[in-house]
Amino acid sequence: MRIDILTIFPNMFNGFLTESIIKRAIQDKYVDIQIHDIRAYSKDKHKKVDDYGFGGGKGMVLMPEPIFDAVEDIKTKDSKVILMTPQGEPYKQAKAYDLAKEKHLIIICGHYEGFDERIRSLADMEISIGDYVLTGGELASMVITDSIVRLIDGVIEKDSHLNDSFNNNLLDYPVYTKPVDFKGMKVPEVLLSGHHANIEKFRKEESLKRTKERRPDLLEKR
Ligand code: ADE
C-alpha cells in the first residue's frame, strides 16, 4: 500500500514515521508513506499557500491551486483521496478495515482556519477523528494512517487485532502480566488455570460486561 500525505507542516511527521510499528512497516515494505509539503506546489515566489477569505472573517484560508496541483501530480487510477476535517464522517474501526484494503491513499490535511471550499471536490471522502477541533489535519491524518497500517496483512500478528476493541462492537477484555499479586491486586484465577475453554468464557463475559458499563451504545449496534 502507498499513502501520500499533503501538509503545510511536514516536520510534524518525523517522529511518527521513525518509531515503532510504523517505522518497521515502512522498513519491511508493507507500506510506502510519503509526506508532501504543499508549499512545494505553490507558484508564488514566496511559496504562499493561503490567503484572506472573501467576505471577511478571521484567519487565512488554504488556496485551492497548490493542493489541486499536488493531487494531480500524485494521483493514479487506484487512488482514493481523503480530506481530514472536523466536518467529515466520524472515523470508526470499520472504516480502518475498509481503507486497509485500498492500494493508494492520498490524505489532505486541512487547516483549522479553513480551506477553500473547492478543495472538497478533490476528495472521495472526508473524515473526522472526533467532535473536537485540532489546529490542523496533521494529527488526524497520523491517527487514521496508524490505524490502517496496523491492519495491513503481516504488519502485526493477525490474532492481535482480531481481539481489538470495536471488532464486533465490543470493547476488549482485560489482560494481565507478572506479578500474579501486585499490591494486593490479584490476577483472576481462571487466567492461571490453563483451562482454555474457561479462559475464553471469562474473556467473552468480561468483554460484554465492560461494553455494557462503558459503551452501551455499541451493544445496540450488535
Ligand atoms: N482537523 C481539525 N480537526 C479535525 C478533526 N477532529 N478530525 C479531522 N481533521 C481535523
Render pLDDT for 18-47 as a digit per residue (tens, 0 to 9): 999 999 999 999 999 999 999 999 999 999
Q: To test ligand 1's pocket by mutation, which of 134, 138, 142, 145 has the most ligand atoms within 8 angstroms of CB?
A: 134
Asked whether 129 lines ligand 1 (CB < 6 A), one says yes
- CB under 8 A, 24+ apart: contacts of 57-64: 58/113, 59/112, 59/113, 59/114, 60/111, 60/113, 60/114, 61/113, 61/114, 61/115, 61/116, 62/8, 62/38, 62/110, 62/111, 62/114, 62/115, 62/116, 62/119, 63/116, 64/116, 64/118, 64/119
Under DSSP, is residue 215 helix (H, G, I), strand (E, B) or coil? coil
| Global model pTM greater than 0.75 | yes
Instruction: Report the pLDDT averaged over residues 161-176.
Output: 89
Q: Ligand 1 centroid to 79 CA: how many Å?
A: 21
What mean pLDDT, rounded, does the chain reach?
A: 96
Q: Ligand 1 centroid to 5 CA: how many Å?
A: 15
Confidence of residue 112 (pLDDT cuts 50, 70, 90): confident
Instruction: Report the pLDDT averaged over residues 176-181.
Output: 98
Asked whether 135 lines ligand 1 (CB < 6 A), one says no
Q: Which position has the higher pLDDT, 105 or 165? A: 105
| pLDDT at position 159 | 75
Instruction: Report the pLDDT averaged over residues 10-25.
Output: 98
Burial of residue 217 (number of CB atoms within 10 Å: 0-12, 13-18, 19+): exposed
Q: Which position has the higher pLDDT, 165 or 14? A: 14
Examine the pLDDT at 8 and tell me if it is beyond 90. yes
Task: Specify the range with the lowest mean pLDDT, choosing from 89-93, 112-116, 131-135, 198-202.
Answer: 112-116
| pLDDT at position 166 | 87
| pLDDT at position 128 | 98
Instruction: Report the pLDDT averaged over residues 153-158.
Output: 92
Instruction: Report the pLDDT averaged over residues 66-92.
Output: 98
| pLDDT at position 136 | 95
Q: Ligand 1 centroid to 112 CA: how many Å?
A: 8
| pLDDT at position 135 | 94
Domains recognised in the chain with CATH numbers: 2-158 (3.40.1280.10), 163-219 (1.10.1270.20)
Instruction: Report the pLDDT averaged over residues 169-173.
Output: 94
Confidence of residue 164 (pLDDT cuts 50, 70, 90): confident
Under DSSP, is residue 33 helix (H, G, I), strand (E, B) or coil? strand
Examine the pLDDT at 146 and tell me if it is beyond 80. yes
Confidence of residue 111 (pLDDT cuts 50, 70, 90): confident
The C-alpha torsion from 62 through 68 and 74 to 80, rounded to 10°, is 90
Catalytic residues: 86, 113, 150, 164
